[in-house]
Chains A and B, each alone.
Chain A
Amino acid sequence: MSLFWIVIRQFAENEAMATSKKVITREEWEKKLNDVKIRKEDMNKLVMNFLVTEGYVDAAEKFRMESGAEPEIDLATITDRMAVKKAVQCGNVEDAIEKVNDLNPEILDTNPQLFFHLQQQRLIELIRNGKVEEALEFAQEELAPRGEENQSFLEELERTVALLAFEDVSNCPVRDLLDISQRLKTASEVNAAILTSQSHEKDPKLPSLLKMLMWAQDQLDEKAAYPRINDLSTAMLEDPPV
């Protein structure tokens, strides 16, 4: 974020002369921050980027009307993408696959790893629902050929099928596959692939900016004591320990 770079650069210049840690008071700091100009449109774009990437379609629509910020992609595609994501999160994997294929048939045709993970998730759901025979048939018909094409798929397949070997899955070493987090992982993989296929970055920009802020503060800590932001959710400037 340019604000922090500018501050750091200014500070580095001062620091070249000094030897001990410099202390910057809240007044000095706020004055420096006030000198940095941020454009409102840029802020709006960042917010819009967050809403779009995270799939808050209604909020994005409202925000567009209120702020005038134009989303980078057609908002209708967000609805489709969220429907896919939701289907995976609910365990309706077959439904999700059909929706992805309607959206863009290239996604799963050119991304064998994602396709495998979706099929794997489908297998996991069959096992979860106790449909053992169906699960076995599915693994044999659909997943085994993928395993032949790719060694790492084969290992993942073996891990998944291991779920069937345990009467009580709570003792099973691969029980994490049945965890809700596995669904979320698969859902986010599909989400990212759809975004990429729409020429959209798969991660929102705001988290990166905040990461950069934390990093820049860490760098600055070595050189100065200054009002720091410790709690990102409030973005409160906290006075330096004197």
Chain B
Amino acid sequence: MPTSASSAIPKPSSDLIARLTVADAAVNLKALRDIKNQIIGNRTKKLSFIKLGVVPHVAAILSSTSDPNILVQSAAVLGSFTCGVDAGVSAVLDAGAFPRLLRLLAHPDPKVVDAGARSLRMIYQSKLAPKHDFLQQENTKFLLSLLNSQNENVTGLGASIIVHSCETIAEQKALHDGGVLEKLIDLLDGSLSQRDASLESIATIFKNNVEAIARFMQPGREDCLNYIIELLKDRNPKTRLLACVCLIVIRNSSPCYFQDIGIKMKLIHSLLELLDSPDQVGDEAPFVFSTLIAEKEELQKLAFEANAIDKLYNHLQKDQLSPRRFQGMLLAFSHLCSKLESCRSRFLSLQVMNIVIDAIKHESSDIRIAACTCLRSVSRSIKNLSAGYFMNEAVVLPIVRLLHDPCNDVQLAALGAISNIVVEFSTKRSIFIGCGGVKELVRLSKSMDLEIRLNALWALRNLMFLTNIMCKEAIFMELTASLLASLVCDPEPSIQEHAMALVRNLIDGCEDSIEYVFAEDAIVLNTIGQQLQNISTDEIGVQGMYVLCNVASGNEFHKEGVMKQLFPRGDDVTRSFVVKFLQSDNSQLRIAVIWAIINLTLPSSPRALDRVTKLRNAGIVSQIKNMVNDPCLDVKLRVRTVLGQLIAFGDGITL
């Protein structure tokens, strides 16, 4: 019986290190085996041994011995330290064991080769593993020699190196040209593990590589492709998953292949079925499913028809979902609901929202992000927003709390969801304001992180969209004129654009709200005017001009305020940016300016004649006259409106 008292678990101790360092091979061997049997499968032990500094001693044994037994054991120990533990990978690499393990591959004893190849393969599972440079020809040759090996562990290592190191098109091309792809195709006929390894490597070489796929899909190669398609029905779930990955890579890089609906349905059904796998395969299946349907409405529709929403929901009902799988399912939902209203309504009718709301509060940041992404997709719907599914305390409170999340990516995902949720048309926006949402958004709009700043601003902009004056007041109080002005002249053009769009929404709708840009000595309006003198992107010009257009829709004082911005040098009206904008190639910019001019020259307003005179002196009127046949119909129509108004001032369309 092995369950004697002596089998009680020994604590990692310096005694162990002594046994590793003593000059007695038998003692060393026994110590290595002890360590191996303690750390395999036991993450906690791995970490504590690594901390104790065991790894360098094992590496030292590996490089000093020639005894095959000790080589095998020390390689196995190092391999296990690196299995799933990045700290272990670092320790092994730092101890300089990597080149030594590589040398084991040339050892005459196949057991030593096995041990070396297994350990290296473990290391290559980690992102920390050194990158293999395929652009150097001898490296590709070395890789080929691995793939040509009779030893399955060695060919598997070759595949792991490809999956880990091949990233760029140039690297893919080097492998392709070096004959690696052909070899991998041969290996599809090999053992089960070789087949899986080969599928994964082929997918790596094909990823975004239109040229390699085109060569592979040439007539005469159908056998190989059909073989991979057949593998969708393989008994082994992992093989089915990898076959899906491979086919999806081909389809996503070159959508011209797999036009027929049969293969698409096969992929959808295979992946939905793989969700049943209890292991890692089932964990990865929803992620692979997402790559299949992301951004592709047609496939989302097919997936919907294949009952994907219900199937995913049934899995979510199960207890003890691994965090990885839960994250994957939420992402799959978010892709399914990203475009199709039918998916969203099924999602809502199944009450998946309750699960998503819980996920917003999940301890894993990946799951919080996935929940926010999901929420953003489902709320990308005027119908659902109007129904008030999201603007309630159950959703708003936890998601506003995420704006304080320690993880930046969570904050960003939450902002993305909030940007959609706040677009709504009832009076419930007060819930968001009431729970401090605006305060948080304003805080984040001052963030040093550009993405956060931008998304916070975006959310504020949407919150401001068609809202009532009470909400506007509350938001403006929090924002303040000076902050708005500083955002308008932020060094980042995208921030300038969104800040101006925010101002545009702020003053849209009622005349009272126009006063906001005149607050604090018109700091906001003046800053926008200054920015318009020198815009870095057309979009900034468009948003800025709509601000001026909205201001010009107000009273005489407001209209004169706009004139001051158009002509900052008083009566010196030359070189106005207005003419430049009117001559722009961008029709959006031209139409924005024309709308502003329409508001400035409404014949009913008392001082319109003064303004028309100024516009004429600045050459703006004649520029507009040149635009009667503008290629953009919208511009053309509005130009005619302006000219129609000008007739009232005795300046008709007489050219």
Contacts and interface: CB of A to CB of B under 8 A. Distances in A.
A94 B192 contact: no
Contacts of B37: 97-98, 101
A122 B9 CA distance: 13
Interface residues of A, number: 38
A93 B83 CA distance: 23
Contacts of A240: none
Contacts of B346: none
Interface stretch (A105-113, A164-172, A178-186): A105-113
Given A199-B152, A199-B191, A199-B193, A137 B84 contact: no
Interface in B1-45: 1-3, 5, 7-9, 33, 36-37, 40-44
A92 B194 contact: no
A79 B36 CA distance: 22
A108 B1 contact: no
A204 to B, nearest CB: 13
Contact of B3 (A108, A119, A122): A122
A105 B80 contact: yes
B7 A105 contact: no
A142 B2 contact: no
Contacts of B5: 134
A95 B2 CA distance: 7
Interface string B118-154: 1000100000000000000000000000000000100
A63 interface: no
B42 A145 contact: yes
Contact of A105 (B2, B40, B43): B40
A17 B278 CA distance: 47
B320 A104 contact: no
B221 interface: no
A142 B193 CA distance: 31
A204 B208 CA distance: 40
A119 B45 CA distance: 15
Given A94-B3, A134-B3, A106 B44 contact: no
Secondary structure at the A interface, as helix, strand, loop or mixed, is helix
Given A106-B122, A109-B40, A199 B192 contact: yes
B76 interface: yes
B153 to A, nearest CB: 9
Contacts of B36: 101, 105
A149 B41 CA distance: 12
Nearest to B2: A94
Nearest to B9: A141
Contacts of A109: 40-41, 80, 83-84, 122
Interface string A114-153: 0100010010011001010010011001100100011110
Residue picked from A101, A104, A111, A142, most chain B C-beta under 10 Å: A101
A125 B3 contact: yes
B482 to A, nearest CB: 51
Interface string B190-202: 0111100000000
Nearest to B33: A98
A98 B38 CA distance: 10
Nearest to B196: A199
B79 interface: yes
B569 interface: no
Nearest to A140: B9
B235 interface: yes
A75 to B, nearest CB: 16
Contact of B7 (A94, A113, A115): A94
Contacts of B1: 91-92, 125, 129
A94 B322 CA distance: 28
Nearest to B235: A201
A131 B3 contact: yes
Nearest to B11: A141
Contacts of A196: 192
B295 to A, nearest CB: 33
A121 to B, nearest CB: 11
A137 B7 CA distance: 11
Nearest to A135: B3
B358 interface: no
B279 interface: yes
Interface in B293-321: 319-320
B191 to A, nearest CB: 4
B452 to A, nearest CB: 33
A93 B40 contact: no
A142 B76 contact: no
Contacts of B41: 108-109, 111-112, 115, 119
A160 to B, nearest CB: 15
A151 B3 contact: no
Contact of B8 (A95, A134, A150): A134
B196 to A, nearest CB: 9
A126 B1 CA distance: 10
B115 to A, nearest CB: 8
A106 B118 contact: yes
Contacts of B9: 137-138, 141-142
A104 B40 CA distance: 11
B42 A104 contact: no
Contacts of A98: 33, 37
Interface string B215-241: 000000000000000000001000000
Contacts of A113: 278-279
A142 B118 CA distance: 25
A122 B2 CA distance: 9
Interface string B231-254: 000010000000000000000000
16 contacts: A97-B37, A97-B40, A98-B33, A98-B37, A101-B40, A105-B76, A105-B80, A106-B79, A110-B83, A125-B1, A125-B3, A145-B42, A150-B322, A196-B192, A199-B192, A199-B194
Given A110-B84, A111-B41, 14 more contacts: A98-B33, A101-B76, A105-B40, A109-B40, A109-B41, A125-B1, A134-B3, A138-B8, A141-B9, A145-B43, A145-B44, A152-B320, A200-B192, A201-B235
The 5 closest A-B pairs by CB, nearest first: A115-B41, A199-B191, A94-B2, A199-B192, A108-B41
Interface of A: 91-95, 97-98, 101, 104-106, 108-113, 115, 119, 122, 125-126, 129, 131, 134, 137-138, 141-142, 145, 149-152, 196, 199-201
